[in-house]
Amino acid sequence: MEFLSYLISGLNLGSVYAIIALGYTMVYGIAKMLNFAHGDVIMVGGFISYYALDAVFKKSGLPFWFSAIIAVVLAMIVCTVLGVLIEGLAYRPLRAAPSLAVLITAIGVSYFLQNSALLICGAQFKTYQSIISGTLNLFGGGLSIPYVSMLTVVVCIVIMVGLTLFTSKTKMGKAMRACSEDKGAAQLMGINVNKTISTTFAIGSALAAIAGVLLCSSFPILKPTTGSMPGIKAFTAAVFGGIGSIPGAFLGGLLLGIIESFAKAYISTQLANTIVFAVLIIVLLVRPAGLLGKYVPEKV
């Protein structure tokens, strides 16, 4: 039973990582940049939904579940706009610049978001009210599964399937894949590259908002640096699964969450991150392009 409950909390954490990693991997696949500000968009999503839930539920007298939906939708809208703005203002002017310049700009954006949040919301952390509370008790109370864990896993699977269908079936999805293969050729085929990249950022940021809500619902401490560590871990997860690959990000996220949960439970709380990163290093040594990544040999 203990094992199962650790597995469930691992799946919960892993699903959150997977949702963030999906955003990371899409942006990386198309823009070939490490978007370090992604973790902070999660934090923004958390704060928006926190304030929105507070305001809507208390002022309007609507039922809680309905207020929660409004809060999530609002957070997604704000984060989408934010993601597109960041891309347009900070990353688009650097399309032709060396990748390190873009990386530093992303770090600048990350600092900017964190410190804006610090100024607006204060340094004191907020206790996030979970959008769905309660637990499902099985085996006469031997195993209790929080509803939020179930919701997180379901949402994660839905997003993964949705994104896979989107990139393989729709016109925009195909355009994204074309851009990630070769931007120049895609442009020659009449694809609007800038618009495609903006759309990718919009989707990635909307996912970040959902991840923010689910992350804070499971781990209810919200502060300006809330997004940093999950951001780094999700990035690790994306690399773990093979960066640029959607099923890879999903698999990487879930595995990372489960490893972390078991490491915390059975080995050491202090060294949980160490174990996660050690597994990543070992995987990359055996499969240099991640679990599901394509290894592209260099041509001379």
Partner 1 sequence: MSKKLKKLSGAPKRDYFSYLLVTAAFILITALNGGGLLSKQMQGLLVPVCCYIIMALSLNLTVGIMGELSLGHAGFMSLGAFSGVVVSQSLITAVPNDALRLVISIAVGAVVAAFAGFLIGLPVLRLRGDYLAIVTLAFGEIIMDVINCLIVGHDANGLHVIFNFRGDKTVADLDLAEGGVAIIKGAQGAVGTKTISTFTAGFIIILITLFIVLNFIRSRTGRAVIAIRDNRIAAESVGVDVMKYKMIAFVISTTLAGMAGALYGLNFSMISADKFNFNTSILVLVFVVLGGLGNMLGSIIAATVLYILPEALRGLQDYRMLIYAIVLILVMLATNNPKVRNLFLRIIPKRKSAEGGTAK
| Binding region for partner 1 (CB under 8 A) | 28, 34, 90, 93-94, 96-98, 100-101, 103-105, 107-112, 114-116, 118-119, 228, 232, 235-236, 239, 243, 267-271, 273-274, 277-278, 280-281, 284-285, 288-290, 298, 300
Question: Phi and psi of 137, rounded to 5°?
Answer: -100, 130
C-beta of residue 241 within 8 angstroms of C-beta of residue 6: no
Residue 188 or 300 having the CB closest to partner 1:
300
Instruction: Output 190 or 281, the one with its CB closest to partner 1.
Output: 281
* Least Cβ distance, residue 115 to partner 1 (angstroms): 4
The minimum distance between CB 110 and partner 1, in angstroms, equals: 8
Residue among 180 and 217 whose Cβ is closer to partner 1? 180
Phi and psi at residue 290, to the nearest 5°: 85, 175
- Provide the 8-state DSSP code for 267: I
Query: Which of 170, 175, 198 shows the shortest CA–CA distance to 188?
Result: 175
Report the nearest approach of partner 1 to the CB of residue 24 (Å): 11
Least distance in Å: CB of 241 to partner 1? 12
**Smallest distance, partner 1 to C-beta of residue 10, A:** 19
Report in angstroms the alpha-carbon separations of 30 from 25, 41, 96, 243, 247: 9, 19, 14, 11, 16
Contact status, residue 12 vs residue 153, Cβ threshold 8 Å: yes
Rounded (5°) CA angle 173-75-40 = 80
Instruction: Tell the smallest beta-carbon distance from residue 127 to partner 1 (Å).
Output: 23
> In whole angstroms, what is the distance from residue 33 CA to residue 177 CA?
15
Nearer to partner 1, 214 or 238 (CB): 238
Of 63 and 93, CB closest to partner 1: 93
Please enumerate in sequence order all residues whose Cβ is within 8 A of that of 98, keeping only pairs 6 or more positions apart, or say none: none
Q: Look up residue 31 and give its amino acid.
A: A
Nearer to partner 1, 98 or 184 (CB): 98
